Amino acid sequence: MSSNSFYTDYKKEINHFISQALREDIGDADHTSNSCLDNSQISKAQLVVKEGGIIAGIELAKIIFNNVDEKITFKTKLNDGDSIKKGDIVFIVEGPQTKLLSTERLVLNCMQRMSGIATLTNNLQSKINHTNCTLLDTRKTTPNFRFPEKWAVKIGGGMNHRMGLYDMIMIKDNHVDFNGSLTKTLEKTRHYLETNKLTIPTIVEVRNSSEIKECMNFPWIYRLLLDNMTTDQLIESLALIKGVFPTEASGNITQDTIVEIAETGVDFVSLGALTHSAKNIDLSLKSIRV
């Protein structure tokens, strides 16, 4: 799924987010704008970049403005995923003064956060482009802001992991420990999938060679997640797996270790830091005086 199709694929969820976010911020009215501005007065504003990075959230900003007032016009100067530098103009928006300012903060909150995520994703993916390894996000997202954050990962050049608990089975250590063994867990999972006629993929987190060997008896597994392993342990695990399953490394992966981990030959690396530790990119919406 490309970043361009993200809104199409998750239109219902993103529209719901916009509706809730506007209600949270505006409430019954933007009394500041209503008290001193004229809603019949049409004005322009431009989004100005204040530091370098990768821009993200332009398409979302347009959707937000149009959600507030369909008469607002939106002219883009850049596209999602473009590199930006201080002083760049991202877009120009024109519409009723009160509507522009009532929408300003939501647009900035989204775009600053999304651009920070896209920038971090782009930086990390570029470090491992010489390998066949792909960068994945996780479910470590801001509650009720998951869709924009995962959209930003796509814009930055990464890939989305499962969107939530509903679109993939991911067996982790607690599932195994609650059941007593990995084999028992997988047998119950297979029965659940067959009984409910589900075709969603199953990822299994493995901690050691013994669990890897158990997974070999279940060829329908979609991917193995090699959790909190050193590079030496990853290499040993990959030799044992022998390409039977795609592999994902996860746990304590940082900017300093991502290259050596990717170079072990794993297919994916997943980082919660993409969405929980990205620094916002400074942007500002400024009025254009005529």
Mean of all residue pLDDT scores within the chain: 96
Q: What average pLDDT does this structure show over 57-86?
A: 97
Question: How much is the pLDDT for 39?
Answer: 86
Tell whether the model's pLDDT for residue 28 goes beyond 90. yes
Q: Are residues 173 and 92 in the same domain?
A: no
Q: Which one is predicted more confidently, 2 or 89?
A: 89
As for how many domains the chain has, the answer is: 2
Please tell me whether residues 122 and 133 are part of one structural domain. no
Average pLDDT over residues 91-98: 96
CATH number at residue 35: 3.90.1170.20
In a shared domain, residues 122 and 9 = yes
> Domain of 248?
129-276
pTM to 2 decimal places = 0.95
16/108 same-domain check: yes
- Beta strand 134-136 with 268-270 is parallel
Give the tens place of pLDDT for each residue, 242-257. 999 999 999 989 999 9
pLDDT digits (tens, 9 = 90+) for 198-221: 999 999 999 999 999 999 999 999
Is the pLDDT at 1 greater than 60, yes or no? no
Q: Are 192 and 82 found together in one domain? A: no
Residues 157 and 220 in one domain: yes
The three-class DSSP label of residue 250 is strand
Least confident of 105-109, 174-178, 252-256: 252-256
**Phi, psi angles (nearest 5°) of residue 145:** -125, 15
Residues 134 and 269 in one domain: yes
Q: Residue 274 belongs to what H/E stretch?
A: helix 273-276
